[in-house]
Structure 1
């Protein structure tokens, strides 16, 4: 939590910390709000102000996370401990803080479809020109047919599939494989794709990127693929759970919202309006997902959350309608 009474001299705004440390502003905000890495002071105008210690810590966190250390494990360490961890590469400075687990234990388990993709990710050229956490490949299949014929054990963090042509049948194969592996995140790289197939994968939470991709773009996809965001501990819906279909049409929702409040309480109207708003945001977030691949993970989560919330409120509307004797059938 920001501390308005912190006596330390606060010298930098978040933009300055970002430029000096090399950590993007959105990442700094996540490290602060989600992991409590910093405790900046705030001005009366609610601007965050960071001091030299915060700047040093941001710089150290950037270096350590680029080496594969999980931010959740090191965000609470002091700058002295972070510095020692950076120097030793394997252990923390002596102190009361617990030693983090080995980076090897934090590696995500990847399953790949496409030998060329696996060779590219493991090549010395790719790893030397775009350093970052190594991709721990658990299994590789040549294509979706081979994957279907040779099932692999479940509990996969990331399933990455490379296909030339994305059709309805291949999209269904990808979804089946993802479910079989219990993949926490599914990434699809495709050359050409049918819009129906692309939409079906996007609606179930897959991240889609169109080929060809240069090494920098592929490295960015690898770095930004974070299945931990979908972990149940965050209370988020699993990306491979389908978004429930809509139960009520716009006409039904509009009719319920217009029921005179003198006869019934206003709960039906409020619930119907909320369902309509969530449905519109659901569509909007899907449009954003298709228009901005760079932010696809964020918009995928927003789309799924909106759909899940909408489905819960549809159950609420059915409950209220049964209690009040309201018909939810489409008008004929």
Structure 2
């Protein structure tokens, strides 16, 4: 939208957050706790961000990702942020290029076409996965976005073929109902698998996460679904040290819980068993601890992102 008085482009908070590479939740936390934005408001009370403010938010995100605590960055002027980020004052305005995508699914294509400001540049579409693959062929793309309401394992080779046809660097599969075995098979092919979002604004976030190589936590809770450890002791120590700069002590408390649950998970796997039933009991205990760890790790990742703390890489 445009401010007619100043003739400057201004953006609502959701669009500003997407352009800066932030989640809206993180932007709100940064504003509430650190006062990172001095925004104007529309006549309806909505926050409006100028291109310069969006650029500043983008620099803050970049620096936080590089390990700088948001608490020490929030009050710095734009020029100092540019200096820390290694860009000059004459740098062009922040512009986040739209992701080049191919879509599979008629309903998905209509919803994307009807939504504005998603940050998705739709270059090719196909109505069905088992249709003509030629519709997906062309220059390489960033993401292949597929709408598969009830996928099964027979579709996994078709997804791989569609990815090759589109030349996509990443694949996002959106479903409504799906068996856990199919989800695992798709993830084994490096696909991002997620339930169909109710808000179209989540699509770009899913696509960017897929390009970054991140996966969503498994949606099933079967015995085979315990994920690998996301935060080892070194990563938790890093988060705790960074979180010490915050008034909130949740990072430290959550780290303590994860260390305790992870320790019990390993203990259950090593505990001596008196008989077959006892062995099964310890297997079930370890499985329950693993699921609890996964839930807590998901909570930790949300907390880290919301507080602007550095996110340690996943263990190899």
TM-score, normalization: structure 1? 0.43
Which of the pair has more CA radius of gyration? 1
